[in-house]
Chains A and B, each alone.
Chain A
Amino acid sequence: MAAASSLRATPLNSVHRALGAKMVDFGGWDMPVQYSGIIEEHNAVRSAVGIFDVSHMGEIEIRGPQAADLTDFVTTNAVRKLKLGQIHYSGLLYDHGGFVDDILVHKVADDHYFLCVNASNQEKDFEHIVAQNRFEAEVVFASDRYAQIAIQGPRAKDTVQKLTPVDLSAIKYYWFADGEACGIPARIAHTGYTGEDGFELYVAPEEAERVWKEIMEAGAEFGIKPAGLGARNTLRLEAKMALYGHEIDASISPLEADLGWIVKLDKGDFVGRDALVKQKEAGLKRRLAGFEMRARGIGRDGYEVHCEGAPAGWVTSGSPSPTLGKNIGLCYLPVEHAQPGKSIQVVIRNQPVDAVTVETPFYKRAK
């Protein structure tokens, strides 16, 4: 069965189909949601190692003498503080302070920044950055040049180390190295979206299939499993990592999303700064909070949340947590209810069901 022609496919599409993956339309991409089962894949990542095709993610390069100026101006985090080979999480905002996207910024050189952006936002991000470009900088849409494969879990390093001469122990968390893996040029980033240790490899799309197979072989002794978007979602939720279209979107600011740590108001002007300053001065009205269900049920995306019997917010993501054995979720609440330990009700199929706000992240790996 071939992908519907309206959907975009990654270079690994036929690999997923050969593995018998269940494929879904994910923001216009034909992607594997699961192979053997979400819980099994989730547990493989927490206890051993999993491999994810994340080639749908977009890549944008900002180059030129004023690359740093443009990158700093369109993002919330302090680009000037990045060292060569370092990565940070950041936000691309509209003037009104809402998210265009959440991104990773890699400093490749003083005049070269590499942005990893969300699949369904990549064209919008590119246009947004181009529209803000009043610097001597070039914005390059580079998604077609990269396949991206994530290897995540406590045995991820052991797996990838078998395939590269680069000393992975020397790459700190949220740093990267440009080197070789599987005998071809690869950008090896110590990043991930699972709350587990792991690496993300950026390689040429035409090599993706071979690289995937070599990783599978290298990881066999550790019990590597291919993992789909279903497990990726439960893993990132446990680690309280935001998903665009759920925790964040154009109507949500990073302050509301509990992402104040990626906003550097003192770094100088950037798109969205004035709106965030005003929001901070006026005081936040709502904030993202974690919750656990107290009674039977799973609060899922879009469900209404009640505080003291009245509608007060909504669930952004909710799922059983395979690691914790509880039903967890994230929701927006009025700030006065957003602290841990507050009783709330999630309206599940017209029934208010008891839940309680909790500390996040839900899961933190042992160092």
Chain B
Amino acid sequence: MVPEKLRYTKDHEWIRIEGDLGVVGITEHAQSELGDIVFVELPKVGAKLDQSASFGSVESVKAVSDIYSPVGGEVVEINTALSDAPEKVNEEPYGGGWIMKLRLSDPQQVEKLMTASEYDDYVGAES
């Protein structure tokens, strides 16, 4: 079971809403599919992202994968610790492996994302 309070995308990102901010990362399923992560390409603070815009990439030993913003907004903080320790995304995908914080441009967009149980079903159906 994936964390209850987060919302999820079909591209396997999660977002946790904290007031008008959203913390974004990739899911346990995504990190497990990628395997050992060796690099996380982070967005720039201040970048304005549309919903579903590619804002960076996660690269593992065997593959590179784009990551997409679950909602629109402005990047207010990035997890610079990942530059030296990209493996945190493998180890704590929902915790220390978070990737960026956004100021949401339209909180309504969150409602259209999958809930935990919907995402569980989605991953179950996909594999």
Residues of chain A touching chain B, judged by Cβ–Cβ distance below 8 Å, are: 22, 33-34, 37-40, 230, 233-234, 296, 298, 300, 319-320, 322, 349
Q: Are A320 and B38 in contact (CB under 8 A)?
A: yes
Q: Are A38 and B35 in contact (CB under 8 A)?
A: yes
Q: Are A230 and B61 in contact (CB under 8 A)?
A: yes
12 contacts between A and B (CB under 8 A): A22-B33, A33-B35, A38-B36, A38-B61, A39-B36, A39-B61, A296-B39, A298-B38, A298-B59, A319-B61, A320-B38, A349-B57
Max chain B C-beta neighbours (<10 A), residue from A40, A320, A322: A320
Contact of B61 among A22, A234, A296, A349 (CB under 8 A): A234
A227 to chain B, nearest CB (A): 13
Bound Cα distance from A32 to B61, whole angstroms: 15
In the complex formed, the residue of B with least CB distance to A24 is: B62
Q: Are A230 and B35 in contact (CB under 8 A)?
A: yes
Q: Are B61 and A322 in contact (CB under 8 A)?
A: yes
Q: Are B59 and A37 in contact (CB under 8 A)?
A: no
In the complex formed, the residue of B with least CB distance to A229 is: B62
In the complex formed, the residue of A with least CB distance to B127 is: A1
Q: Are B39 and A230 in contact (CB under 8 A)?
A: no
A26 to chain B, nearest CB (A): 12
Contacting residues, chain B, for A296 (C-beta < 8 A): 39
Residues of chain B touching chain A, judged by Cβ–Cβ distance below 8 Å, are: 32-33, 35-36, 38-39, 57, 59, 61-62, 64, 90
Q: Are B64 and A37 in contact (CB under 8 A)?
A: no
Contacting residues, chain A, for B39 (C-beta < 8 A): 296, 298
Max chain B C-beta neighbours (<10 A), residue from A22, A33, A38: A38
Contacting residues, chain A, for B38 (C-beta < 8 A): 298, 320
B27 to chain A, nearest CB (A): 16
Contacting residues, chain B, for A22 (C-beta < 8 A): 32-33, 35
In the complex formed, the residue of B with least CB distance to A231 is: B61
Bound Cα distance from A208 to B59, whole angstroms: 35
Contacting residues, chain A, for B62 (C-beta < 8 A): 33, 38, 230, 233, 319
In the complex formed, the residue of B with least CB distance to A233 is: B62
Bound Cα distance from A196 to B23, whole angstroms: 44
Bound Cα distance from A34 to B36, whole angstroms: 10
Bound Cα distance from A33 to B36, whole angstroms: 12
Contacting residues, chain B, for A40 (C-beta < 8 A): 36
A115 to chain B, nearest CB (A): 29
Bound Cα distance from A234 to B60, whole angstroms: 12
Q: Are B64 and A34 in contact (CB under 8 A)?
A: no
Q: Are B35 and A298 in contact (CB under 8 A)?
A: no
Bound Cα distance from A34 to B34, whole angstroms: 11
Bound Cα distance from A34 to B62, whole angstroms: 11
Q: Are A34 and B35 in contact (CB under 8 A)?
A: yes
In the complex formed, the residue of A with least CB distance to B62 is: A230
Bound Cα distance from A288 to B33, whole angstroms: 31
Contacting residues, chain B, for A320 (C-beta < 8 A): 38, 61
B85 to chain A, nearest CB (A): 14
Contacting residues, chain B, for A37 (C-beta < 8 A): 35-36, 90
Q: Are B64 and A298 in contact (CB under 8 A)?
A: yes
Contacting residues, chain A, for B57 (C-beta < 8 A): 349
Bound Cα distance from A38 to B35, whole angstroms: 7
Q: Are B61 and A300 in contact (CB under 8 A)?
A: no
In the complex formed, the residue of A with least CB distance to B39 is: A296
Bound Cα distance from A322 to B87, whole angstroms: 14
Q: Are B35 and A300 in contact (CB under 8 A)?
A: no
